[in-house]
Structure 1
Amino acid sequence: MNKKKIYHFSQNLISLFTVKGLELALTLGLIPYLIFKVGVENYGKYAFAMAMVLFFVNFLNYGFDLSAVRELAKNKNNLEKVEQLFNEVFSVKLFLIGIAYCIIFILVLFIPRFEEARNLFLLASLLLIGDLFSLRWFFLGLEKMKFITLISFLSTLIYVGLVIVFIKHKEDFIWIPVAEAIGLFVVSGLSFVGVLKQFKIKVQLLSFREIGVYLKSHFNSYINLLLPSTTGVIMVFLVGLFGLPNTVALMQIGVKFTSAFSTVNTILTTVFYPMVNREQRNIKASRMVLLGIGFCLSLVMFFGSPFLIAHWLKLKSVTDFENTIYIIKYLSPIPFLMGAISGYGVNGLLVYFEDQLYSWITIVATLFMIVLGCVLIPVLTIIGGAIAFVSGRLLYALLSYYFFKLKVSEVH
């Protein structure tokens, strides 16, 4: 790797670490504040609504961080192709947001569990409008991670600022998702307009037939991105269906904590993905880095959780505090498992264009997790959710490893 490539790689890595560090500091620091202001129960109601909406946010991103990034990385100097990709992604997102809102309206109008908190779910759904204009996939494809840094930081900063100013009483919890939606909409909208002007892109929406063709041809990438990125959200949602609001809050805290420890893996996977697609000889080195760091983070998460939770959350209930520690200890293998999934799956099988195989692995592992969650959560509540979450990730990692080894044997 020459000096120019090393500099470019380092710049992208530092940019993503910066944004994630700032984002985590702001959002994790906000959780104790929100619990103090609105209480554990109301925070749990908010977490349940956000679990549903975040699933739809990932639903809108129809595998773009994989398929569109891969296409853009190979054609970033072809302005005609760039415009084509831009219009494809925007058209598909616009179509999918219509479907998402149809489903949301059906849920809040006809399903009692959602109907009783209709206003909260509808306000939370505003996050979808902000995400419509998100261009994360675009900057990933161009390998301009510094723009992702700036956009994510500014939107999070606006969100945190609005929360501190307006969330003062317990009943204000309904406005928390609105603050998040405003931050995302303002910054994403400005970046969207900026890209249109800089690249002289003319927005031309695809026909329904063309959208149908796109959805069909990119379905595997969609599955490979949607299900892995929503497993934590699905667990929070399932706990919300079977448990009480305070158990949802604790499960979401556990998932957030785990996400913080998995951030390094997420960043390295994002930076490595365009690189290993250009030069497959980098696959082994990237995998060793992902596995090594994941293993170390899992150890820190297991042994350090009591100290970290005690100094992060000021939970009044001793039971809530102990349950949070138990959840995090159960979830501690996940950073290592995420490293294995990234090393053998995203930066392994997908580099060999085994999108369909990887999508089947994703579906099997996710369905296994959901079924196990539905069995265990009614009996063990949040602990059942944690066990199901880890078991699903373990199966995902094992299947990715097994089929990657088969593929390598076939290639060589």
Structure 2
Amino acid sequence: MIKYLKKILNNENYKRIIENIVSLFSLQGLTYILPLITFPYLTRVLGPDKYGQIAFAAAFITYFQTFTDYGFNLSATREVSLNRDNDDKISEIFSSIFIVKIILMTISLIIMTIIVFSFDIFRSNWILYYFTFGILIGRDLLLTNWLFQGMEKMRYITILNIGTSIIYTLSIFVFVKESSDYLYVPLINSFGSLIIGLVSLRLINKEFNVKFIRPTLDDIIHQFKEGFHLYISTLGSSLYLTSTRFILGLFVSDAVLGYYTVAETLTSAFKGLISPISQAIYPYISRLQSENPIKAKKDLKKILIVMGTLTFILSIVVALCAPILIKLLAGENYAQSIPILQILIFTVFAVGINNVLGIQGLVAFGYKEKFSKIIVFAGIFNVIILVGLIILLGSIGAAIAVVTTEFLICIIEYIILRRVKIL
């Protein structure tokens, strides 16, 4: 065992992966742990109603985040990874994507403004949506996670996120004292996002010599084409992730949405444990499949077994401990969140599997179009069953719809990977 560990640590590729996993775990850990410090405080101070309103606004803005991201978190990461020794090419990629994001962000702001002032459900609390939109500007336009990930240097973003997360946590306790202070939550979050975004722009110039150069029209069109299929897939995933909370909010009270959001937030915290591993491995698998496809396939199978085992055990443990977790973290007023969490937590197992099959498998091996079609199909399937299940079972029905959709994705991805002989 010791010899095996030494062999891994002496391998430069594995050392880089481990370093990035540690950095990303630090980032994701504090990204989720620090909000979990404020989570019990906010659920108690704001109550289910205001907590539900904030959740509804966040779900609404996530549609625009999906639109602005346009799949670049995967397509650009891969492109940067393949060209990371070429400073001029990296600058070209950064500049063209930045321009595309500005265009998409402007369109998003215009569409959001039209919607907010056209419907009473939005207009009655219009300022909440604009404060929440600030998070999108900082995190999606200015923060270049995809570039750091592609360069496999995530420790920079780790440090930035830790700093802003600490400031956010302290600010919540200072400024949010009662339910009427709920607007401070997205405002503080937006302010922190803008700061980290601006600092990251300075970092990529200093550390990677990335400069803004005026992109050609061909460069911009190229990025639109590269991100399109992955954008379609993220749009599809939005239909079964973001839409669940948003559609539920159209059918139920703010309080019921608050109960669902508590369960979803805790589930997301556990799903966050998957992300560092996935983000660190993706650039490695992307390179390896072009250099040594046989080894890439073997590594993929190993990752699938490990990820599946760990996430299954985690899901079972959390489901059994759900009553304790809800009471401890959210308070006794959120007892209705317990059965929702016991269902939703199994998305951790499903996401662990479909992340390996979809991102590390289909996308990294060049099957972006197939991956996109799967996610779009799943998104449409989710919306179809979601409305009916919400009408019949309320928030429990919403949780069942999400879990069913995630496992459907796993099955389809596995079948395709077997057909193309990757698994």
Deviation at 1:209, TM superposition (A): 7.0
TM-score by length of 1: 0.93
Partner of 2:370: 357
Equivalent residue, structure 2, for 1:97: 105
SS in 2 for 1:204: coil
Given that 1:227 and 1:363 are in contact with CA atoms closer than 8 Å, whether structure 2 keeps it comes out as: yes
Residue 15 (structure 1) aligns with: 23
Any unmatched runs of 5+ in structure 1?
none
Counterpart Cα distance in 1 of 2:353 and 2:325: 25
The answer for the alignment partner of 1:270 in structure 2 is 279
Summarize the alignment of residues 10-409 of structure 1 with structure 2, pairs less than 5 Å apart. 10-131=18-139, 132-206=141-215, 211-228=220-237, 231-279=240-288, 280=296, 281-316=298-333, 320-321=334-335, 323-408=336-421
- Matched residues in 1 for 2:60 and 2:279: separation? 25
Q: Distance in 1 between matches of 2:254 and 2:402?
A: 19
Give the TM-score normalised by structure 2.
Answer: 0.91
Residue type matched to 1:139 in 2?
F
State the 1:398 CA deviation: 1.0
For 2:201 and 2:281, locate their aligned partners in 1 and report how far apart those are by CA, in whole Å. 25
Shift of 1:130: 1.1
**Whole-angstrom distance in 2 between the partners of 1:102 and 1:209:** 26
Alpha-carbon distance, 1:207 to partner: 6.1
What amino acid maps onto 2:251 in structure 1? F
Q: 1:381 to 1:205 in 2, by over 3 A?
A: farther
Matched letter for residue 49 of structure 2: E
8 A Cα contact 1:91 1:205, kept in partner: no
* Aligned-partner residue type, residue 332 of structure 1: I
Q: Taking CA–CA contacts closer than 8 Å with sequence separation of 6 or more, which of the two structures ends up with the larger relative contact order?
A: 2
Provide the C-alpha distance between the structure 2 equivalents of 1:214 and 1:306, rounded to a whole number of angstroms. Answer: 47
Q: CA deviation at 1:334?
A: 0.9
Greater CA drift, 306-315 or 344-353:
306-315
Amino acid at match of 2:281: F
Is 2:236–2:380's contact at 8 Å kept on the other side of the alignment? no
CA contact (8 A) 2:390 2:398 kept: yes
Q: Residues 149 and 217 (structure 1 numbering): CA distance in 2 closer, same or farther, change over 3 Å?
A: closer
- How many Å separate the matches in 2 of 1:209 and 1:375? 45
Read off the aligned partner of 1:9 and give its amino acid letter. I
C-alpha displacement at 1:140, in angstroms? 0.5
- Aligned length in residues: 406
Secondary structure, counterpart of 2:113 in structure 1: helix
1:18 deviates by 1.4
Q: How far 1:42 moved relative to its partner?
A: 0.9
Conserved 8 A contact 2:235-2:376? no
Q: Is the contact made by 2:76 and 2:146 (CA closer than 8 Å) also made in structure 1?
A: yes
- Which is worse superposed, 374-383 or 198-207? 198-207
Indicate how the Cα distance of structure 1 residues 19 and 335 shifts in structure 2: closer, same or farther if over 3 A, else same.
Answer: same
Provide the C-alpha distance between the structure 1 equivalents of 2:248 and 2:215, rounded to a whole number of angstroms: 39
* Pairwise CA distance, 1:196: 2.4
1:65-119 C-alpha deviation (Å, 9 max, x unpaired): 2111111111101011110111122111111101111111111111222112111
Pick which of 303-312 and 92-101 moved more. 303-312
| CA distance in structure 2 between the aligned counterparts of 1:343 and 1:129, rounded to whole angstroms | 30
- In the TM superposition, residue 213 of structure 1 has moved relative to its aligned partner by 4.7
Whole-angstrom CA distance in 1 between matches of 2:165 and 2:411: 35
Is contact 1:341-1:396 (8 Å) kept?
Answer: yes
Taking only the aligned residue pairs, the percentage that are identical comes to: 29
Q: How far off its partner does 1:229 sit?
A: 6.2
Could you tell me which amino acid in structure 1 is paired with residue 280 of structure 2? V
Cα RMSD (Å): 1.9
Residue type of the alignment partner of 2:176: I
